[in-house]
Amino acid sequence: MYIISPSILSANFTNLYKDVSAAVEGGARFLHIDVMDGRFVPNITIGLPVVKSLRKSFPDVVFDVHLMIVEPERYVEKFIDVGADIVTFHVEATPHIDRTISLIKEKGAKAGIAFTPTTPLEYLNYIKDIDLILIMTVNPGFGGQKFIPTMHRKIHAARKIIDENNWNAYLEVDGGIYPENIKQVADDGANVFVAGNAIFGMGNPYERVKEFLKILGYE
C-alpha cells in the first residue's frame, strides 16, 4: 500500500485548516509535520501548539512528525502527548539512537529514523525494532528543492535491508517528490511519499493528492 504524506511546511499557514482538509479529502492518510530548531537545520518551523491544534481538527489522520532538531530525545514525549502518531528523528542528531527509539515506543507511538543524503545506512545494522525509515532526498531544512538523483540507489538499498530483516517498517522518502518521479521512487521500494510544494504549492491540494494516487495505481 502506498501512502501520501503531505508536508505542511509548504502549506498556506494563513489558511492551514483549509489546505490540510483538501489534502485529506483527496486521499492523504498521513500528515507530515516538519519540526526544525534552527540548529540541526538552518530554519525554524512549527512546534507543539500547532500540532496540538491540528490534532483537534483532524483526529483520524496519522500525524507523521519529523524532528529535525538536536537532542530529539528531549521532545519526543511532548510531541506524542499533543498528538504525534509517528515520531521520526535524525540519526545524526543524537548519540542515543536506541534509547530514543525505546522512549518513543514506550509512549505508544511508532518510531522512525531519518537519514540525510550523505549519511550512510550502516546505522541500521545496530537497530532491531523500527517502524519507519526516512530517506531524505534533498538536504533538509527548506521545501521546494530538487530530488538528488543518486538517492535512488539509497532508497533501493534501504528497501533491501528492510526485506532482508523482515521488518514491518515503512520506507518513506522526503524531498523533491513530484508526479514525474514518484513512480520511479515507488519502484525503488518506497511506500510513503512526503510531498510539500507539489501538493500545497501547485493548485488545489485535493487534486494534487488525487494525481499522485492515480500515478501509483489508485483511481
Please provide the average confidence, as pLDDT, over all residues in the chain: 94
SS3 assignment, position 106: helix
Q: pLDDT by residue (tens digit) across 110-151?
A: 999 999 999 999 999 888 889 999 999 998 766 667 899 999
Contacting residues for 98 by C-beta, under 8 A, at least 6 apart: 126, 127
Q: For the chain, how are helix, strand and coil distributed in percent, rounded to 5?
A: 40, 20, 40
Instruction: For residue 129, indicate whether it is catalytic.
Output: no
Write the burial class of residue 96 (CB in 10 Å: 0-12 exposed, 13-18 middle, 19+ buried).
Answer: middle
Rounded percentage of the chain residues whose pLDDT exceeds 70: 98
Its pTM stands at 0.95
Name the catalytic one among 64, 131, 174, 188.
Answer: 174
Spatial contact of 168 and 100, defined as CB atoms under 8 Å apart: no
Given 34, 37, 131, 188, which residue is catalytic?
34
The pLDDT, as a whole number, for residue 219 is 66
37 as an active site residue: the answer is no
**Cβ neighbours around 11 below 10 Å, total:** 23
pLDDT confidence tier of residue 166, bands split at 50, 70 and 90: very high
**What domains, with CATH codes, occur in the chain?**
3-215 (3.20.20.70)
